[in-house]
Amino acid sequence: MMQKTALLFAGQGAQCAGMGRDWAAQFPTAKALFDRSREILGFDLARICFEGPEEELTRTENAQPGIFLTSWVAFQLLQERKPDLSFQATAGLSLGELTALAAAGVLSFEDGLKSARQRGQLMQEACERTRGAMAAVLGLETAALREVCAVADVDMANLNCPGQIVISGETMKIAAACELAKAKGAKRAMLLPVAGAYHSRLMTGAQPKVKAMLDALALNPPSVPVISNVTALPHGGPEEIRQMLAAQVVSPVRWEDSMRYLLAQGFTRFIELGPGTALSGFVKRIEKTATSEKGSGRDVLVGAVQEALLSAAKKAVGPARELRCTVDPKTGDIQVWAKLVVSEIVVSKHEQISFFEARRIKADSQLGEELEAEVTPPGFGRIGSQYAKQALMQQIRQAEQQINQVGEITLLNVADVPSLEATVTALSKHP
């Protein structure tokens, strides 16, 4: 069975002097793209990527287009060496989301490169107007770190993987937050060498300018799902993409949730394209806990029913307030209850409890052909039942696939010439 493959693209921080130089020396396609970048941007970005110095490359307005360019070259080289390359989703961390969108055909290479440069300039301006910093906190639970951020008045910026979260905010407050985090039990809390407080409220000044930049772009619907940093779910159409990319500037990057979404959808091969291998490292740490959290077939089916009910309830009467589910340990029958918001007037008078029961759903995932399902708030008649039935069956089929799928995860990367060759070889052996 063919593996479901996701392409991953790095964000700012992955840059290093010399990135892309060997590609340009060995592959005409790479050299042509680096040469083209000079024409598009009007300055020699390739020289900065190849030679540095690090201080110049690290500047946000250079690092962001440099990483976009190098990652795009990696993508093009992989497609050139492996013309039958097939992938079913893309994702990118922060800036990398632009590359992920370009790989899915949402915007052109030229527009993506210009956008990365302009985004970097706007964020650099915001950094210079504020006194911000970022810090990596290791070995502290997310809930505990949220408490630290609330007390210190800083923001969570990057939720990368279990035990590694980046916080962002005013310099003095970040220093205080680091001390609070260590007092709470963090293994380490260290300042990062960045120009400012990315993905925090301190970037608010850049947000409307980024939105204006995005509004001027011609965007296409994505050819494959592209995971949003803001929602950790696939992007919608072009207008939603513009909104989410603008929101991303001041919102936390939900990378761990994004990877968990792809794992839950059955993705078992991840190819990281561009400088560095940090994203592969994150996936390794996420997949370890994801494997232990997948649980038994019963757990997967319960989760599927929960998702189906919530989806059906929203379709029928609006958002659900509460959702709980039980499984009969003897029969495997699943029962789900949701407390629904029917309308403010009704809810103010009395709580409406919706009962949903899916019979013949066994914990061993052996499902009957027929399904009885309905969403019925008392006194409001039978509503949304057909939608509930269809949604539930779809979720159950996906759950069965997840139960039966092979759990091995393959991590590949294209960061230099040797890793490109290794990835091409691996893809040839295991299409």
Per domain, the residue ranges of the chain are 4-127+201-294, 131-191, 297-404
Considering 71, 94, 251, 258, which one is annotated as catalytic?
94
- 199 classed as catalytic: yes
Determine the pLDDT at residue 174.
96
Q: What is the pTM of this model?
A: 0.73
What is the per-residue burial (b if ≥16 Cβ within 10 Å, else e) of 21-32? bebbeebeebbe
**What are the angstrom distances between the C-alpha of 376 and each of 228, 304, 367, 386?**
34, 19, 23, 12
Helix, strand or coil for residue 24? Answer: helix
Determine the pLDDT at residue 407.
53
pLDDT digits (tens, 9 = 90+) for 114-173: 999 999 999 999 988 999 999 999 999 999 999 999 999 999 999 999 999 999 999 999
Is residue 311's pLDDT more than 50? Answer: yes
H helices of 190-277, in order, are: 207-215, 238-248, 255-264
Please tell me the distance from the alpha carbon of residue 227 to that of residue 9, in angstroms, as a whole number.
11
Is residue 211's pLDDT more than 60? Answer: yes
Is residue 379's pLDDT more than 50? Answer: no
Determine the pLDDT at residue 394.
57
Determine the pLDDT at residue 408.
76
Mean pLDDT along residues 189-218 = 91
402 contacts 300 by C-beta, under 8 angstroms: yes
Please tell me the distance from the alpha carbon of residue 423 to that of residue 48, in angstroms, as a whole number.
27
Higher pLDDT, 283 or 373: 283
Other CB atoms within 10 Å distance of the CB of residue 211? 16
Determine the pLDDT at residue 259.
94
What is the per-residue burial (b if ≥16 Cβ within 10 Å, else e) of 107-129? bebebbbbbbbbbbbbbbbbbee
Is residue 292's pLDDT more than 80? Answer: no
Is residue 49's pLDDT more than 90? Answer: yes
Considering 115, 168, 199, 365, which one is annotated as catalytic?
199
Higher pLDDT, 358 or 17: 17
Is residue 344's pLDDT more than 60? Answer: no
The whole-chain average pLDDT of the chain stands at 80
| Strands 267-273, 226-227: pairing kind | unpaired
Q: Which CATH architecture has domain 131-191?
A: 2-Layer Sandwich (3.30)
DSSP symbol at 204: G
Top CATH class, 4-127+201-294: alpha beta
Using 50, 70 and 90 to split pLDDT, how confident is the model at 363?
Answer: very low
Angle at alpha carbon of residue 129, lines to 122 and 215, rounded to 5°: 25
